[in-house]
Chains A and B, each alone.
Chain A
Amino acid sequence: MTSVEVAGVAIHPFGRFEGVTTTELGVAAVRGALAEAGVGRGGFQAAFCATAYGGVACGHRILGALGMTGMPIVDVEAGCASGGAALMLAAGAIRAGQYETVVVFGVEKMPKGVIRSSFFEPWQEEAGLAATPAYFALRAQRLMATSGVTKEDLAAVVVKNRRQGAANPDAMFRAEVSPAEVLASRLICEPLHLWMLCSPNEGAAAVVLRAGAPGSGRVRLDAAVLRSHLPGAVLSESTPMAGLVDVDVPAPSTLAADDAYREAGIGPGDLDLVECQDTDAARELLAYEELRLCPPGGATGLLAGGATAMGGRLPVNPSGGLLSKGEPLGASALGQVVEVVRQLRGDAGQRQVEGATVGLAHTVGRGANAAVVICSR
């Protein structure tokens, strides 16, 4: 099968940028990634743009601003996993021999304040059932009941990720926090406090993929997998209103991870670092189990032992995660891939995971959609 090289990556910092348009955010990331890859106008045959709120033909507007149109440009929406979905489509097309070089980018300016989603019916909003953090909280409560996770563990995830994010110039929040401060922040939905939830924000990220085996020190895309939820699950990022009583329905993250491990020919024990979806602190712990980084019920032990902190056996979210970066929906998955690629190249500066050769990026959210991307050098 054709190898796929990650030829260039770039990120526009995640944050809030008054007066900067979605197009301008996207242009910054695309230019950066193309420059790294040494690709100019006419140098790529297709483009995929991941976005949820970018509007009609968002990708066309961004490439149009650069005079780089004419090739197929397709916008991709798969909730939080949009970037992973775009990467899957691009890599598949390259492996099929359809294109040699493809630009994949994600961009978002999340609406400010409370975000209304067409995912819920108007009556569900009126009844108070469109409370997104409450769904995170229900899942967190279940994790606490089944895996012995405590509120102190949730605070410890935030402390870890914010400490790591302090070393990331592309992150929105760059101050370390203490467990007491996290637990003293406003209670949103028991057990989740404000600082345990990531902030929707703005940003962009871009990746240039190219057919062919990468040279020494360069990064290969081993797998990019998107999966949706199986019918029946009620809280596995899934059906919001009803579900079967059935604990055996695998979560979409596990489906995507198992496919990706198989595609890459590796197992979780081969990973050197992971960027995972920490929409809320409990979500990171759940990801440890769903991605098979630990056995079911083992998330607390993995965290408490320091394995997932910098210097540990398997650093998770060396970028600081979404808890530090914030979450611009369409850009977040590719932002993780940018981090993984920089880590594998040894370009991660102060937050470098020494000697990293295999990295995994994971996103999951509305749909449900889950994406897992594995890269190596």
Chain B
Amino acid sequence: MPHTVPVHDGLFVAGSPPRLLGSRCRACTGHHFPRHRTCPYCASDQVDEVELSPTGTLWSWTAVTAAPPGYRGAVPYGFGVVELPEGLRVVTRLTESDPSRLRSGQAMELVLDPLHLDGEGRQVVVPAFAPAGGP
């Protein structure tokens, strides 16, 4: 596998499967993504880093057909919200860019999706959810 770099440090841990890196509040038990130093639900600073579940269910989805500001990757690309078993909704890229091929409540799994090449020719990757059990 060619050398890849994450679009941003601290978003995920690679592996099979990769996992999003979030946080969990000791006071209210709420989960967050990306990681927070303080809890955005209850203001506690007793927050631990946790690896989030690599699977979830699809809650809403669309596809972006024109490049938004600052984006150099391919269009169209899938975009949606996935519910994780921790009780957390995550706004995320989806590997499926045809909305008609997705349905509400569908099982999804985390993958690392190629985004674009950086200035040194390395592949930049971004976490994305794919329909579970796909190729």
Residues of A within 8 A of B (CB): 114-117, 120-123, 125-135, 137-139, 141-142, 145, 186-192, 231-232, 234-235, 239-245
Contact = CB atoms under 8 A, between A and B. Distances in A.
20 contacts: A121-B8, A125-B71, A126-B72, A127-B93, A128-B68, A128-B79, A128-B93, A129-B93, A131-B68, A132-B68, A137-B79, A189-B79, A190-B99, A234-B81, A235-B81, A242-B33, A242-B34, A242-B88, A242-B91, A244-B30
Given A138-B79, A242-B34, A188 B126 contact: no
A141 B81 CA distance: 11
A320 B101 CA distance: 35
A214 to B, nearest CB: 43
Interface of B: 7-8, 11, 22, 30, 32-34, 40-42, 59-73, 77, 79-81, 83, 87-91, 93, 99, 104, 115, 124, 126
A186 B22 CA distance: 37
Contacts of A120: 70
Contacts of A125: 68-71
Given A142-B60, A189-B62, A245 B89 contact: yes
A182 B68 CA distance: 22
B65 A231 contact: no
Given A129-B91, A131-B64, A138-B62, A123 B71 contact: no
Contacts, number: 124
A234 B7 contact: no
Contacts of A135: 91
Contacts of B64: 128, 131, 133-134, 189
Contacts of A245: 83, 87-89
Task: Give the 4 A-B CB pairs with smallest separation, nearest first.
Answer: A125-B70, A123-B8, A137-B62, A131-B68
Given A189-B63, A242-B32, 6 more contacts: A126-B72, A130-B69, A142-B59, A188-B66, A231-B42, A240-B91
A126 B73 CA distance: 8
Nearest to B32: A242
Contacts of B81: 138, 234-235
A130 B68 contact: yes
B45 to A, nearest CB: 15
B8 A127 contact: yes
A127 B126 contact: yes
A121 B34 CA distance: 12
Contact of A234 (B11, B77, B89): B89
B24 to A, nearest CB: 12
Contacts of A130: 68-71
Given A129-B93, A145-B104, A232 B34 contact: no
A186 to B, nearest CB: 8
A188 B65 contact: yes
Contacts of A138: 60-62, 79-81, 91
A264 to B, nearest CB: 32
Q: Which of B32, B59, B70 has the most CB of A within 10 A?
A: B70
Contacts of B65: 186-189
Contact of B115 (A126, A131, A141, A190): A126
B60 A123 contact: no
A133 B11 CA distance: 24
Contact of B70 (A126, A132, A188): A126
B88 A190 contact: no
B57 to A, nearest CB: 10
Nearest to A115: B69
Contact of B71 (A128, A139, A242): A128
A239 B69 contact: no
Contacts of A134: 62, 64, 68, 79
A28 to B, nearest CB: 31
Contacts of A121: 8
Contact of A231 (B33, B41, B91): B41
Nearest to B7: A127
Contacts of B99: 190
A232 B88 CA distance: 9
Contacts of B32: 242
Contact of A114 (B7, B69, B90, B124): B69
Contacts of B8: 121, 123, 126-127
A187 B80 CA distance: 17
A187 to B, nearest CB: 6
A232 B64 CA distance: 25
